[in-house]
Amino acid sequence: MVRTAGPAGVRRGPVQSAAVAMAVLAAAVGLTAGPAAANDPGAGISQVKLSLRDDPATSVVITWRDGPEAGAGSVLAVPPGVDFGRCGSAGSACRVQPASRIVLTTSEGPAYAYYSAALTGLRPATTYLYRVADGGPTTADATFRTARADAAPFAASVVGEVHIGDRVQPGWPEPAWPLVAERLRSSGSRFVLSTGDNVNTGGLESEWERLAGPAQRLFASTPYLSAVGNHETYGGPAAGEPSPLFAVRFPQPTNGPDGTGRTFSFDYQGVHVVVLEANPTTPLASLQAQADWLDRDLAAARTRTRFQIVLTHAPPFHSKQSRVTPTYQNPEIRELFVPVMDRNGVDLVVSGHDMHYVRSAPLRGEPDPGAIPAVKPRVVPPGQGTTYVEVTSTGMSYPDLLVQPWMRVAVARTAVSLTLRFGALSIGAQAVAPDGTVIDGFSVRPVP
């Protein structure tokens, strides 16, 4: 990829002519670039997906979908050396967990049964073999691995703006997601976070099918959690509310201010992860409640974890020109959250929404009375401020990138996955395109 120098030393890239490279990679991994085939309501168990809700060292949540006539569901899981055939034996280490079940009639017509089973009391640092059943044949065996109980180094990844169902961009496969998902599966990530807008219209089951189809191997083996993007609310029950099709797929921690699993936090091997519900449809009262909760949550986390990272959908510092001028959009996200994150030494913030890949210099917020937003970015030395990153995994062309002095890397028209490697003393990060091109590499030092 060719980079050219932009203002204030920003590296920028009008980026890949990736259609050929992506098509070659798609053939190599046996994927197609087009939409995944829709699942028939009678086709049996599909869309098996892992999530996290309680302690990642001792628990996992498994969700799936089936036709409306499917019966009671359950998950069977065994540690190494235990045979599924002994699941009925007294004292067996086999876990059999009944699942909750809800039937929803989708806006496109078909009804489906959605299942969720939470396995708890698991062994830390253990790879489990599991199967899913709901009255018919069980699924093929898959695996998940619980977290270690200590602060050992690990990797995790972030995606954003997958936007299944968005308009087709000439010269790009629609979408880039099949290749991004395959790259995530081979990244060694212990979990994947999405900044939201997984689909273009949250109320369309067909788009969720197209998200799950190419990612079935990833979803069945690696927990995938998500912030609520504004597009997840399209087709929701009320303004600003995500569609029920989001909720059935993301049974996430409920330790946030409203207990809905849309704002939450968790610890993973000495790293504290916070996911906020901060998008253009989020009511101001909710943002204010989240800011108060975030202050308390981060203050407690700093006493027990070595890094703190935060995910939002809309970024505190916009990169899209139409969201900066003539009127700055969603200034309250910056005004409410940046002072809290500065006060608590957040190391890294990752967002989406603006459809670019952007990395900031280390920043702190500075009061800017009378301006909108009333907080402006101030560049500080490494280790003294938060690094802000925007990711996009759609590959769509959104050319109105506004390069600003606080940026260090700014790239339009790209699709990336961001892999984070949490070491003992720093976070190493790489943003990689679907064809393997490294868009950016950087490290983050802990902020005191």
Q: What is the pLDDT of residues 144-156, one digit of tens each?
A: 999 999 999 999 9
What pLDDT score does 28 carry? 30
Give the model's pLDDT for residue 196: 98
Same domain, 155 and 270: yes
Is it the case that residue 7 has pLDDT exceeding 70?
Answer: no
Give all strands of the β-sheet with 111-119 in edge-to-edge order. 46-51, 60-66, 111-119, 100-105
pLDDT exceeds 50 at position 126: yes
Least confident of 127-136, 170-179, 218-227, 266-275: 170-179
In a domain, 388, yes or no: yes
Residues 91, 161 share a domain: no
Rounded to 10°, the helix 177-185/19-29 angle is 50
Q: Is residue 29 part of a domain?
A: no
Provide the percentage of residues in the chain whose pLDDT is more than 90.
78
- pLDDT of 13 over the 80 cut: no
Which range is least confidently modeled, 9-18, 312-321, 348-357? 9-18
pTM score, two decimals?
A: 0.90
CATH of the domain at 435: 3.60.21.10
The residues, ordered by sequence, that sit 6+ positions from 28 with a Cβ below 8 Å of its Cβ are: none
Q: What is the number of structural domains in the chain?
A: 2
| Residue 39 pLDDT > 60 | no
**Is the pLDDT score of 27 beyond 50?**
no
- What is the extent of the structural domain holding 114? 46-145
Q: What is the DSSP letter of 401?
A: B
Residues 231 and 370 in one domain: yes
- The reply to whether 360 falls in a domain is yes
Residue 187 within a domain: yes
Residue 32 pLDDT = 26
More confident residue, 170 or 305: 305
What is the pLDDT, as a whole number, of residue 137? 77
Asked whether residue 87 falls in the same domain as residue 199, the answer is no
Give the per-residue pLDDT at 6: 38
Q: pLDDT for 256-276, tens place per residue?
A: 999 999 999 999 999 999 999
Q: Confidence class of residue 139 from pLDDT cuts 50, 70 and 90?
A: confident
| 354 and 371 part of one domain | yes
Looking at residue 17, what is its pLDDT?
33
> DSSP of 403-446, one letter per residue?
--TTEEEEE-S---EEEEEE-SS-EEEEEE-TTS-EEEEEEEPP
Q: In this structure, is residue 32 part of a structural domain?
A: no
Domain termination site, one of 122, 145, 168:
145
CA dist., res. 129 & res. 94, Å (int): 10
Examine residue 37 and state whether it is found in any structural domain, yes or no: no
Percent of the chain with pLDDT over 70: 87
140 and 159: one domain?
no
Based on the fold, state whether residues 93 and 208 are members of the same structural domain: no
Angle between helices 331-343 and 284-301 (to 10 degrees): 20
Residues 198 and 336 in one domain: yes
Mean pLDDT (whole number) for 7-30: 38
Of the candidates 92, 120, 145, which is a domain's last residue? 145
Q: Which residues pair with 444 in a beta bridge?
A: 427
30 in a domain, yes or no? Answer: no
Within-domain flag for 41: no
Q: Which of 11-15, 288-292, 304-308 has the lowest mean pLDDT?
A: 11-15
- pLDDT of amino acid 296: 99
In this structure, are 185 and 110 located in the same domain?
Answer: no
Q: Average pLDDT of 376-395? A: 95
Q: What is the pLDDT of residue 206?
A: 95
Answer yes or no: is pLDDT of 124 > 60. Answer: yes
Question: Which of 11-25, 74-88, 128-142, 363-377 is modeled with the greatest confidence?
Answer: 363-377
Phi-psi region of 67 (alpha: psi -120 to 50; beta: other; left: phi over 0): beta
Give residue-wise pLDDT tens across range 57-109. 999 999 999 999 999 999 999 999 898 887 767 667 888 999 999 999 999 98
140 and 178 assigned to the same domain:
no
Q: What is the DSSP string of 123-169?
A: PTT-EEEEEEESSSPPPPPEEEEPPPSS---EEEEEE----BTPPPP
Are both 131 and 174 inside the same structural domain? no
Ranges 42-51, 66-75, 83-92, 161-170, most confident: 66-75
Mean pLDDT of the chain: 89
Torsional class of 395: left (φ above 0), alpha (ψ -120 to 50), beta (otherwise): left
pLDDT tens digits along 200-241: 999 999 999 999 999 999 999 999 999 999 999 999 898 889
Q: What CATH number did the domain enclosing 82 receive?
A: 2.60.40.380
**Does one domain contain both 200 and 340?**
yes
Tell which of 94, 112, 145 closes a domain.
Answer: 145
Mean pLDDT of 307-327: 97
Distance CA(301)–CA(62), nearest Å, equals 27
Asked if residues 228 and 150 have their Cβ atoms less than 8 Å apart, the reply is: no
The answer on pLDDT for 31 being more than 70 is no
